[in-house]
Amino acid sequence: MKLNDFYCEQWMTAYEKEAVYNMTDTSFSALSFHDLFDSKSLEEFDPLLDYGEITGDRGLKKEIERLYTTNDRALTFCHGALEGNEHVMSTLLEPGDHVIAFRPGYQQFYEYPRSLGCTVDVLDYEEENGWKLPFDAIENTICEKTKMIVLASPANPTGTTLTLKEWERLIELCKSHSI
């Protein structure tokens, strides 16, 4: 498999450590060992630093199960959304499938399916309409081989979120085409 360059990640690698204000990360600043071991909050917290359970922490699963109706065998844990996206796409997509993604958006949403042998249409959000999903374009782009419509909400990098009505419309559109 050959992945195309992820230009955003390359840019961040080159410049993020030099930035006065880094607004590109989705994570928090790391602690130094000094900060970690000097922390008063660790007096009651004595974690075991080992590999952990392969399928994820049982306590965490039980807490999640309290929020949802599921069983723990259906829960999969990933180290961040990037890995989760990759697992979902690798599991559901096959060469020849069609994927719809959006621009501006996260490059993984269209490059990773391409690396799996999928055809991808990248549609533009409606900038003049507050970065809304282009529902007419989506409907016109869906074809017999469309297997996935992939997006983030809030959208990256616009921050736009779908309303409940937009989610319902998208879900109904997908259901009607078995996507």
How far apart are alpha carbons 63 and 77 in whole angstroms? 13
Q: How far is CA 129 from CA 60, 103, 116, in A?
A: 40, 14, 33
Determine how β-strand 119-124 pairs with β-strand 98-103.
Answer: parallel
Least confident of 15-19, 82-86, 111-115: 15-19
Residue 65 is predicted with a pLDDT of 78
Q: Which pTM value belongs to this model?
A: 0.70
Mean pLDDT of the residues in the chain: 84
Q: Do the beta carbons of residue 173 and residue 135 sit within 8 Å?
A: yes
Residue 138 is predicted with a pLDDT of 98
Architecture in CATH of 95-179: 3-Layer(aba) Sandwich (3.40)
Extents of the domains making up the chain: 55-92, 95-179
